[in-house]
Amino acid sequence: MRVKGGIVRKRKHNKILSKTKGYRMTKSRLYKVAHEAYMHAGQYAYNHRQRRGSELRRVWIAKINAACKNNNIQYKDFIAGLKKKNIELNRMVLADIGTNHPEVFTKIVESL
């Protein structure tokens, strides 16, 4: 007796096609093309998650630099001063303090 696996294949195809809803052109209609697009989308998502950390670090540095300019100090001197005084605040926290609590950031700069 021949087994064609119609139900299994249909479920598999529908699963991929439902995940590619909203994709452009045949990428949302044809299984072969949709499966390829779905696999690539997963790879792109993974790669961009890996890159997000360094991109956020750049944003934090820009925010800290802007806060430093308001306090007439260079970014490099500010970071060097923090290291010298053993103040262990990471860049994410410093960026948040610099944008949301400038008076606290000013006190940190004055303590250096």
Give a yes or no: residue 2 inside a domain.
no
Region 3-11: mean pLDDT is 85
Q: Domain residues for 84?
A: 7-111
Q: 98 pLDDT exceeds 80? A: yes
Position 20 scores a pLDDT of 95
Whether 1 maps to a domain, the answer reads no
pLDDT band at 112 (very low <50, low <70, confident <90, very high): confident
Residue 50 maps to a domain: yes
Distance of CA 7 to the CA centre of its chain: 39
95: in domain: yes
The pLDDT score that the predictor gives to residue 44 is 97
Distance of CA 96 to the CA centre of its chain: 17
Q: What is the length of the chain?
A: 112
Question: What CA–CA distance (Å, rounded) separates 51 from 45?
Answer: 10
Q: Which amino acid is at 15?
A: K
Instruction: Give me the number of domains the chain comprises.
Output: 1
Mean pLDDT of the chain: 93
End-to-end CA distance of the chain: 83
Band (95; pLDDT cuts 50, 70, 90)? very high
Q: How far apart are CA 9 and CA 38, in angstroms?
A: 17
Residue 43 belongs to some domain of the structure: yes
| Residue 28 domain-assigned (yes or no) | yes
pTM above 0.95, yes or no: no
